[in-house]
Structure 1
Amino acid sequence: MSTDLSRKIEKQPILQATHPIKLYLICFISMWERYAFYTLRAILVLYMTKKFLFTDTQAYSAFAMFSAIVYLTPLIGGYLADKILGMKRSIMIGGSILIFGYVLLATQNTAFFYLGLSTICIGGGLFIPNIASMVGQLYQENDMLRESGFSIFYTSTNIGAFIPPLVTAFIVFRFGWNAAFIMAAISMLFSVIICGLTIQNDSKIKGKSNVRLFILFWLSLLSIICFSSKLIQHTHYANIVLFCIGILFFIFIIQKSFFLEKEPRNKLIACLILITLSIVFSLLYEQSAMSLMLFTEFNTHRQLGNWTIPTITFQSLNPLYIIIMGPLLAKLWIYLSKQQLNPSVTLKFGLGTCFMGLGFVLLPLAILLFANQGMISLWWVVASYFLQTLGEMFVSPIGLSMVSSLSPAKMLGVMMGVWYFATAVANALSGFAANLTTISSHSNLPVLTSATYEHAFALMGALTLFVGICIIALSPLLSKMIGKKSFST
């Protein structure tokens, strides 16, 4: 009886007086890393096509695979943090490697280009999952501030993502490509310095001073960097490797689940189901730097008065919306929790996926009903970004919170890596999805391309809406596996 009572007490929601100060330090560290990454993301395709004269197909393939590997390497980074390095040490090492990667890109040397991209992939693999895991460690599983804390974290990272599309074009035009990459390296240096001065070492994992282990660690990293460089160059082989790695990790996690008790095993399985379904969501999200960017360039009236808005500027809409909506949603989740009306993680996943689908369905409707010579108003694109971002705010920060709360403590780093691996798969598939918008005539005339975009966006949006509806339908079952109601605290 006393055991049952203690379990009920443990499941009661906890509300701290306020968020820990450490949350805001972590947010500041992550913000500078995001500035560096989104500087690269904003100009990478243009850099490849203008500086190295890549074809569009080559640029999109390299971009998709680079983005995939960026989110694949957290599988390794999470494991190393769990078993060997600890979170702070992983972040410090990863941040230092990222600095070196951006410096390599600043050389504007073809020989160093792929090496720089792969170095950034490895550095990000050590940095990204562990900065998110640090947020999860600040709260108990049933703390009512947990989801609010992740929303604040997600909002802060998008402050770093908001600035690059606005300023990078000017930096490149005024000072050259290398200046943009140097700025990215400097922002990473700020991130590493702040982490080193403010974040304490992990209490449970002490760094090992074994010289052989140290040498083996760095040799392994160098080998992975060289291997990743080849994968970015040869994407057809990379897709096979990506598929094999996914199967191996899936088998590994399922095998581990057999040694868990029923409740944590059900939570882990539900977590894996939602992570798998999130691939469709992430696939559409990545179109903002691919097909949606070209659609904005060639099929959207971008005039606002006498000013023609640069295409790259539209990529600031997503982080701008997040900055605005993030604090509002954080307060909303707390209010709904107090009223015992907070939608479950699964229901939020479903709703967010539906919003993303609607964001893409809106565009073919605009083309069909309001296009003039294949061109639509910029406000349709603005509205599409709003719906996409609203969906993202339901899925991404809640997803990070879900992984940290549903994963067994000893598998937290690996499961956080699996969350990013799903994004890696989506990035790899996003290149294939973007190819739906290509036309054989190689013409960018709006009257010729609008029908192609209409068909592609309708297909992407409808598929995502279908997945979202399926998640909502499965919400009661998944919520039961997690141990929560569809509307709960």
Structure 2
Amino acid sequence: MAHSPASTTGRGHPKGLYLLFTTEMWERMSYYGMRALLVLYMVGATGNGGFGWSQAKALQVYGLYTALVYTTPVLGGFLADRYLGQRLSVTLGSILMMLGQFVLAMPGNNEALFYAGLGLLVVGNGFFKPNISTMVGGLYAPGDSRRDGAFTIFYIGINVGAFLASAVCGTLGEKYGWSWGFGSAGVGMALGVLVFLLLGNRFLGDVGKRPTQVVRQESKPAAPAAALTRAEVDRIVVIFVLALFVVFFWAAYEQAGGLMNLYTDAKVDRHLLGWEVPTTWFQAVNPIFIIGLGPIFAEVWTSLGRRGRDPSIPAKMALGLLLLSFGFVFMLGASKQSATEGKAAMMWVVTAYFFHTAGELCLSPVGLSMVTKLAPTRFASALMGVWFIANAVANYLAGLIGGYAEKLGEFDLFLAITAFTAVAGVVLLGVSPVLKRMMHGADEIRPTAPTGSEQGGAHSAPAA
């Protein structure tokens, strides 16, 4: 599939990467701005514009919403592969999500409008999420040592947006009213689609313009659709196996926006130098850590890759699960302190987020890169959507799991999460050599030096 992205920057990455970075940043501001407010809005007092729902109901709705957010990318990826192309799908998704945020911002505390706004966000995300990630992979050739580093750079964009979400949307929503928070998230999404439309042709070339299936048919018009090879089948199996382990990771990690968010609001001493830190600001802790740690991880993976010593994808993801598990140890400390003293110190939660962030950087951007490496080209966006199905299941489970805190108590629930994620990490580490063999070399990279030739133009990146 012939792409012609624009020339690379001085650091050796295509300029299109930074356009996709910026577009994703504004979209993530929109999403995380709404997410930081969502459960607080649902349990908030009706007199202040909230719905006054119970914690269990709010977490159930939150889990269902976030599950649907990660389900619709399957259909969005399929439509992009077959009919729309990735570029048009990203544009359409951006517009729908912008409208969804503005519907949520409408005053009146109307449940019908609330669900309509969430619905627009769900559908829009389905078009946006799998296709912008696949376009990042489309900037790089198979075996390019920059690819994992590129996805980590892209992931920093996600978290710059998440930081802006808490700083802007969260503050406006908590301090000035829910409508201000949701409305500012809509403005962020509008900026994202505007930048993408203005600069797409200049920096992305032909990447994502046409449906993958159409390009394939034109490049080989007389050839019938080839059956999947044994290597391709094995690689698809690896995607599904790793997706299973990702369910364990995200079901635990997504307590951040639900249970941990509510826990921080009610049971953490948020006073600092005589001032009470807004609850939504704690949602910025993770993106701040990612912005700081992301370049370090990107450089580590790229440096190891140039020397041919990069750990396998399953091994990186196993490490991510183990770091996440260790982070929940600090939530055990927090729940112990809040049970005995009424409130827990902020540093318990901040330290937990630090290790959750380190685990996330080992797993999430690497997982996105993995799908672009292993998926057969004709199914690239659809399999990226399937990857997000794991997130869908995990997010729904996260809501259900968080709801048990009222019955079990936070300590027992955090202990169970710690144990399950640790076991999952150990098991994945044990089977990682088998999974690596089943990739049939698709995750291997060519050791390179940062020479002038590496600084040249970007290539297309059909999956092997």
Taking structure 2 as the reference length, the TM-score comes to: 0.84
| Residue matched to 2:145 | 144
Deviations 1:261-305 (A, max 9, x none): 111211111111001110000001110112212322333333333
Return the offset for 1:460: 0.5
| Residue matched to 2:350 | 382
Q: How many residues align?
A: 415
| Residue matched to 1:28 | 22
Once residues 297 and 485 of structure 1 are traced to their aligned partners in structure 2, the CA distance between those partners, rounded to angstroms, is 45
Judge which range, 321-330 or 92-101, deviates more. Answer: 92-101
| Residue matched to 1:159 | 160
Distance change (3 Å), C-alpha of 1:436 and 1:297: same
Given residue 75 of structure 1, which amino acid in structure 2 is its aligned partner?
A: V
Once residues 374 and 212 of structure 2 are traced to their aligned partners in structure 1, the CA distance between those partners, rounded to angstroms, is 26
Find the partner of 1:205 among 195, 204, 211: 211
Once residues 168 and 11 of structure 2 are traced to their aligned partners in structure 1, the CA distance between those partners, rounded to angstroms, is 38
| Residue matched to 2:195 | 194
Tell me the SS of whatever aligns to 1:199: helix
Tell me the SS of whatever aligns to 1:410: helix
Deviations 1:326-369 (A, max 9, x none): 11111111111123221110100100011111111232255558
Contact 1:343 1:487 (C-alpha < 8 Å) held by counterparts: no
| Residue matched to 1:223 | none
Contact 1:26 1:135 (C-alpha < 8 Å) held by counterparts: yes
Return the offset for 1:62: 1.1
Once residues 173 and 83 of structure 1 are traced to their aligned partners in structure 2, the CA distance between those partners, rounded to angstroms, is 43
Contact 1:357 1:465 (C-alpha < 8 Å) held by counterparts: yes
Given residue 12 of structure 2, which amino acid in structure 1 is its aligned partner?
A: T
Given residue 172 of structure 2, which amino acid in structure 1 is its aligned partner?
A: I
Task: State yes or no: 1:480 paired with 2:437.
Answer: yes
Taking structure 1 as the reference length, the TM-score comes to: 0.80
Once residues 267 and 85 of structure 1 are traced to their aligned partners in structure 2, the CA distance between those partners, rounded to angstroms, is 26
Find the partner of 2:428 among 471, 482, 487: 471
Task: State yes or no: 1:18 paired with 2:18.
Answer: no
Matches within 5 A, 1:260-409: 260-365=228-333, 367-368=335-336, 372-373=340-341, 375-409=343-377
Return the offset for 1:459: 0.5
Tell me the SS of whatever aligns to 1:340: coil
Once residues 421 and 121 of structure 1 are traced to their aligned partners in structure 2, the CA distance between those partners, rounded to angstroms, is 13
Tell me the SS of whatever aligns to 2:188: helix
Judge which range, 321-330 or 196-205, deviates more. Answer: 196-205
Distance change (3 Å), C-alpha of 1:468 and 1:332: same
Task: State yes or no: 1:46 paired with 2:35.
Answer: no
Given residue 29 of structure 1, which amino acid in structure 2 is its aligned partner?
A: T
Given residue 15 of structure 2, which amino acid in structure 1 is its aligned partner?
A: I
Once residues 80 and 382 of structure 1 are traced to their aligned partners in structure 2, the CA distance between those partners, rounded to angstroms, is 41
Q: Percent identical across equivalent pairs? A: 34
Q: Name whichever structure is richer in helix by fraction.
A: 1
Once residues 62 and 20 of structure 1 are traced to their aligned partners in structure 2, the CA distance between those partners, rounded to angstroms, is 40
| Residue matched to 2:409 | 452
Deviations 1:44-97 (A, max 9, x none): 112223322222222111111111101110001000000000011101111111
Distance change (3 Å), C-alpha of 1:458 and 1:38: same
Contact 2:404 2:413 (C-alpha < 8 Å) held by counterparts: yes
Deviations 1:124-182 (A, max 9, x none): 10011111111010111210000000000001111010122223343235543222222
Judge which range, 107-116 or 154-163, deviates more. Answer: 107-116
Once residues 158 and 173 of structure 1 are traced to their aligned partners in structure 2, the CA distance between those partners, rounded to angstroms, is 21
Tell me the SS of whatever aligns to 2:91: helix
Tell me the SS of whatever aligns to 1:458: helix
Given residue 91 of structure 1, which amino acid in structure 2 is its aligned partner?
A: V
Give 5+ residue unaligned stretches, structure 2. 1-9, 45-49, 215-225, 448-464
Tell me the SS of whatever aligns to 2:144: coil
Once residues 278 and 209 of structure 2 are traced to their aligned partners in structure 1, the CA distance between those partners, rounded to angstroms, is 49
Given residue 70 of structure 2, which amino acid in structure 1 is its aligned partner?
A: Y
Once residues 349 and 287 of structure 2 are traced to their aligned partners in structure 1, the CA distance between those partners, rounded to angstroms, is 15
Once residues 465 and 174 of structure 1 are traced to their aligned partners in structure 2, the CA distance between those partners, rounded to angstroms, is 39
Once residues 270 and 236 of structure 2 are traced to their aligned partners in structure 1, the CA distance between those partners, rounded to angstroms, is 46
| Residue matched to 1:55 | 54
Given residue 168 of structure 2, which amino acid in structure 1 is its aligned partner?
A: V
Distance change (3 Å), C-alpha of 1:371 and 1:84: same
Contact 2:37 2:173 (C-alpha < 8 Å) held by counterparts: no
Tell me the SS of whatever aligns to 1:138: coil
Return the offset for 1:206: 9.7
Distance change (3 Å), C-alpha of 1:365 and 1:107: closer
Distance change (3 Å), C-alpha of 1:298 and 1:340: same
Contact 2:62 2:258 (C-alpha < 8 Å) held by counterparts: no
Once residues 475 and 485 of structure 1 are traced to their aligned partners in structure 2, the CA distance between those partners, rounded to angstroms, is 15
| Residue matched to 1:252 | none
Give 5+ residue unaligned stretches, structure 1. 1-15, 209-257, 440-450
Given residue 95 of structure 2, which amino acid in structure 1 is its aligned partner?
A: S
Given residue 397 of structure 2, which amino acid in structure 1 is its aligned partner?
A: L
Deviations 1:191-243 (A, max 9, x none): 111111222364543999xxxxxxxxxxxxxxxxxxxxxxxxxxxxxxxxxxx
Return the offset for 1:487: 9.4
Distance change (3 Å), C-alpha of 1:270 and 1:38: same
| Residue matched to 2:220 | none
| Residue matched to 2:91 | 92
Over aligned residues, Cα RMSD in angstroms? 2.4
Deviations 1:92-119 (A, max 9, x none): 1111111211121121333211111111
Once residues 284 and 370 of structure 1 are traced to their aligned partners in structure 2, the CA distance between those partners, rounded to angstroms, is 21
Contact 2:165 2:185 (C-alpha < 8 Å) held by counterparts: no
Once residues 332 and 474 of structure 1 are traced to their aligned partners in structure 2, the CA distance between those partners, rounded to angstroms, is 24
| Residue matched to 1:435 | 403
Distance change (3 Å), C-alpha of 1:37 and 1:369: closer
Given residue 361 of structure 1, which amino acid in structure 2 is its aligned partner?
A: V
- Larger RCO: Structure 1 or Structure 2 (Cα < 8 Å, ≥ 6 residues apart)? 2
Once residues 183 and 266 of structure 2 are traced to their aligned partners in structure 1, the CA distance between those partners, rounded to angstroms, is 31
Given residue 190 of structure 1, which amino acid in structure 2 is its aligned partner?
A: L
Once residues 24 and 190 of structure 1 are traced to their aligned partners in structure 2, the CA distance between those partners, rounded to angstroms, is 15
Once residues 59 and 68 of structure 1 are traced to their aligned partners in structure 2, the CA distance between those partners, rounded to angstroms, is 14
Contact 1:72 1:417 (C-alpha < 8 Å) held by counterparts: yes
Once residues 196 and 149 of structure 2 are traced to their aligned partners in structure 1, the CA distance between those partners, rounded to angstroms, is 23
Distance change (3 Å), C-alpha of 1:59 and 1:365: closer
Task: State yes or no: 1:70 paired with 2:38.
Answer: no
Contact 2:90 2:132 (C-alpha < 8 Å) held by counterparts: yes
